[in-house]
Amino acid sequence: MDDNIIPSVIGWIIAIAFVIIAITILARSIRIIPQAASGVVERLGKYHKTLTPGLNVLVPFIDRLRPLIDMREQVVSFPPQPVITEDNLVVSIDTVVYFQVTDARAATYEIANYLGAVEQLTTTTLRNVVGGLNLEEALTSRDEINGQLRLVLDEATGKWGIRVSRVELKAIDPPLSIQDSMEKQMRAERDRRAAILTAEGTKQSAILEAEGARQAEILRAEGDKQAAVLRAQGEAEAITTVFGAIHVGQPDDKLLAYQYLQMLPKISEGQSNKLWIIPSELTEALKGIGGAFTPKAGGPAPTPGAGPAAAFRPQPTVTPSEPVVSAEQLKTAADAVVESVLDGEPSVRDLIAEAQANDVRSGAVPPEVYDIDGTTPGVPPIPPLPPQNPGV
């Protein structure tokens, strides 16, 4: 019985070993390649083929699969690199490279470490490109730098089975002193723009204010014009009314002369009205007034109550010369003449007061011309007769 057990155990051991060997051979023979990946197969140390995504069968112990290569586009960010510009300024440039492996065999056998090679090539190319530009051009010509880097890298990495799609400059950092100067320059530029905007606003505000003032002046001038026209029309109507009333009353020269004497004090109120020329017609009228109301030697005295027509009868006059006297002397002389006439015939006061009251009631003459209060007819008080002035 023992002789039968030993062969059976050996048989089981052989079977198990055979199964293990078969599983090992099968495991080494079958390879599953994921999508967007590729593998290089070497047979006895020599390139045999490139495996594609999916199920692949290898010859065990003869074929060897190299590490898989990612065929997708890769993004590699390199650390900042110091670069010297044309104007001898050291700037730190941070770059980002986008590349893709297009040939797994070339990426495996043409370059030992394609990732490190891309980094070094990017650094050297960047220094060559930026070294021909000054700082301002380097800061403002990123697209041009990116294009030059992509062309150089794509041409150099083509034989490695790598395609560089684009290169981006992530940051360009000038020295701290240059950064401070740039910040001051930008601040000055912002202040300049703010000053320009403020000046433009002030200009527009001044224009609008001037336009508003202009419109206001135009409207004010139009209003003054209309007021002046209406005022002139009112004065014209008043003059017409007064002129008509005077002509209806049929005044003679003596009444007009008296009215002129009444207005002389008001005319002489001005500071510049110091000298007046007495017209010859006025002196004739004054002589007529004196001759009408002064009793003549041997003749009858004027009849009281005879009326204004009898009182202001024309008298023969002699035209005197026209002396030049002051306004104060003229006023004093006029008051003296009127006083002498009224003293000669007291009834003349009543006649003059009645005539003035009639003028005021009819509206032909304003009350302030005669200094009448509107209720009681009268004339202003006449000062005492001054000593005779030889110059009048």
Of 384, 370, 304, 390, nearest to 339 (Cα)?
384
Task: Tell me the three state secondary structure of residue 90.
Answer: strand
Same-domain pairing of 366 and 256: yes
pLDDT at 150 over 80: yes
Q: Which of 230, 249, 268 is the last residue of a domain?
A: 249
pLDDT given for residue 337 in this prediction? 55
Contact assessment for residue 116 and residue 160, using Cβ atoms and an 8 Å cutoff? no
In a domain, 390, yes or no: no
Question: How far is the C-alpha of 21 from the C-alpha of 91, rounded, in Å?
Answer: 63
E-strand stretches of the chain: 30-33, 37-43, 46-51, 54-57, 63-65, 69-70, 73-77, 81-84, 90-101, 162-173, 275-277, 324-326
Q: pTM to 2 decimals?
A: 0.44
Distance set, CA 86 to CA 147, 176, 179, 265 (Å) = 19, 18, 18, 99
Mean pLDDT of the chain: 74
In a domain, 129, yes or no: yes
pLDDT digits (tens, 9 = 90+) for 204-228: 999 999 999 999 999 999 999 999 9
pLDDT given for residue 332 in this prediction? 63
In a domain, 149, yes or no: yes
In a domain, 347, yes or no: yes
Q: Which of 249, 270, 301 is the last residue of a domain?
A: 249
Question: How far is the C-alpha of 250 from the C-alpha of 348, rounded, in Å?
Answer: 19
The percentage of the chain sitting over the pLDDT mark of 70, rounded to a whole number, equals: 62
CATH of the domain at 159: 3.30.479.30
In a domain, 343, yes or no: yes
pLDDT digits (tens, 9 = 90+) for 334-392: 566 555 555 544 444 565 666 667 767 776 666 665 555 544 444 444 344 344 444 43
Q: Which two tokens stand for residue 179?
A: 């950064």
Q: Which two tokens stand for residue 2?
A: 């023992």
Same-domain pairing of 100 and 184: no
Four-CA torsion 186, 190, 192, 196, nearest 10 degrees: 150
Q: How many CB atoms sit inside 10 A of residue 316's CB? A: 8
- As a whole number of angstroms, the longest Cα–Cα distance in the chain is 213
Average pLDDT of the segment spanning 16-38: 86
Same-domain pairing of 322 and 218: no
Q: What is the DSSP string of 317-346?
A: -------EEEHHHHHHHHHHHHHHHHHH-T
Question: How far is the C-alpha of 363 from the C-alpha of 108, rounded, in Å?
Answer: 129
E-strand stretches of 53-158: 54-57, 63-65, 69-70, 73-77, 81-84, 90-101
pLDDT given for residue 345 in this prediction? 46
- Report the domain count for the chain: 4
pLDDT at 179 over 50: yes
Task: Tell me the three state secondary structure of residue 275.
Answer: strand
In a domain, 385, yes or no: no
* Helix 114-130 / helix 142-157 crossing angle, nearest 10 deg: 140
Same-domain pairing of 31 and 139: no
pLDDT at 248 over 60: yes
* Range of the structural domain that residue 29 is part of: 2-69
pLDDT given for residue 312 in this prediction? 38
pLDDT given for residue 377 in this prediction? 42
Same-domain pairing of 90 and 120: yes
Question: How far is the C-alpha of 204 from the C-alpha of 210, rounded, in Å?
Answer: 10
Distance set, CA 294 to CA 287, 337, 355, 368, 383 (Å) = 10, 11, 20, 29, 19
Distance set, CA 231 to CA 83, 225, 357, 364 (Å) = 89, 10, 27, 19
Band of pLDDT at residue 40, cut at 50, 70 and 90: very high
Same-domain pairing of 243 and 261: no
Same-domain pairing of 259 and 345: yes
In a domain, 290, yes or no: yes
> Do β-strands 275-277 and 69-70 pair in parallel, antiparallel, or remain unpaired?
unpaired
* Side chain identity, residue 152: V
pLDDT at 16 over 90: no
